[in-house]
Amino acid sequence: MQPSAALGRISPSPTLAITSRVMELKRAGVDVIGLGAGEPDFDTPDFVKDAAIQAIRDGKTKYTNVDGTPELKAAIAAKFTRDNGLTYKADQISVNVGGKHTLFNAMVATIDAGDEVVIPAPYWVSYPDVVQFAGGVPVIVKAGPEQGYKLTPEALDAAITPRTKWVILNSPSNPTGAGYTADELKALGEVILRHPQVWVFADDMYEHIVYDGFRFATIAQVCPELYERTLTVNGCSKAYAMTGWRIGYAGGAPWLIKAIAKLQSQSTSNPCSIAQAAATAALTGDQSFLAERNAAFQARRDMVVAMLNEIDGMSCPTPEGAFYVYPSFAPLIGKTTPSGRLIDSDEAFVGYLLDDAKVAAVQGAAFGLSPAMRISYATSDALLKEACTRIQTACAALK
């Protein structure tokens, strides 16, 4: 028996591969610093953990509605109103096993063979693979540092064809941290409005992790005319440090939410009942801890950006949000390592950092835009300073 053709259209997640490699090295006693994982180092808030423990004690350990408990859907609806000025009823809300599951469900439930999905690059690694698994065609649009790593209306308009079904917008972005302003989203929305067959997958997973007074906006909020054609996607993983709890959610048109539920009923069924109780507490509880954590993230961002920009041949923009930087280093391509190995790609560069500096990052090729790398600064100040010092030393040793 051979693997299916659909499986052949995807690759293992490069970011998860790096994380696994770092774990292996640490188990072997190697002093490696992992900057590849998209995971906050903060713990899940105590009030969220307490809600989960109480749910277990209350016997909330049975099947739930396939796409979310009424309590969690009510909490999500309240969150959308409170934070985004968006109104969704229960039949417009889907709860899934993480944001990646939301993406998978939405694409598989709507894409026919040959349908196109516009994806700005750099992109989260799962976007093109999930589109291809569903039988669709990823249309990759470069959005480089000269554009602030953001899609322009002109580039979007040029990418849309009669086969376009979705445009994916991620703000703040994984991997760059770039955030779209309300005006920038309005300009993109004006383009999409001219193409009635096009829907928007608005990935807002890093909504609450923003800096320097940046005001988060989402496209259905600033372009109400696109409300019916937008799936507004979020989750608990990043802001609430709940990556392992696996709760993602979305608000959208009732027919689409029903289609996602149909697919989910034959795949995972309901998300974990205990995780749903925890997510309900996270969304309805005291949100004040977010500001304290953002202040810590911002200080780390500033240190990492400053130290990377001290490296000759490396340029690191200052992101508006998330907990990543995406430095480019074209002048370093073509150099050789002290052992004589040629740095001919960003994959070779991050391999050099891992082997010689014992620092793990993710190559830009995984995100569709090279030569660059993604660094996560969701770790301690001391480890970040040591990692950046090692990167500086490794770069200075190139010839």
Take residue 286 and report the two structure tokens written for it: 């005291």
> Rounded distance, CA 92 to CA 258, Å?
8
pLDDT at 24: 85
Residue 363 has pLDDT above 90, yes or no: yes
Closest-CA residue to 188 (of 103, 124, 99, 120): 120
pLDDT, mean of residues 212-235: 98
Q: What is the pLDDT of residues 107-140, one digit of tens each?
A: 999 999 999 999 999 999 999 999 999 999 999 9
Contact 367, 124 (CB under 8 A): yes
Residue 17 has pLDDT above 80, yes or no: no
What residues contact 179, with CB distance under 8 A and at least 6 apart?
171, 172, 173, 210, 214, 216, 319, 320, 321
pLDDT, mean of residues 85-113: 98
C-alpha distance from residue 356 to each of 359, 393, 396 (Å):
8, 10, 12
> Rounded distance, CA 383 to CA 390, Å?
10
Per-residue pLDDT band for 28 (boundaries 50, 70, 90) equals confident
pLDDT, mean of residues 29-34: 89
pLDDT at 97: 98
Q: What is the pLDDT of residues 283-300, one digit of tens each?
A: 999 999 999 999 999 999
DSSP-derived 3-state class of residue 232: strand
Bridge-based pairing of strands 230-235 and 248-251 is: antiparallel
> Rounded distance, CA 264 to CA 102, Å?
10
pLDDT at 10: 83
How many CA atoms does the CB half-sphere of 321 hold within 13 Å? 24
DSSP-derived 3-state class of residue 8: helix
Take residue 288 and report the two structure tokens written for it: 């004040």
Q: Phi-psi region for residue 377, left (φ > 0), alpha (ψ -120 to 50) or beta?
A: alpha
Q: What is the pLDDT of residues 144-177, one digit of tens each?
A: 999 999 999 999 999 999 999 999 999 999 999 9
70: cis peptide before it, omega within 30°? no
Alpha helices in 115-226 (DSSP H): 126-133, 153-159, 182-193, 219-222
Contact 48, 284 (CB under 8 A): no
> Rounded distance, CA 269 to CA 197, Å?
30
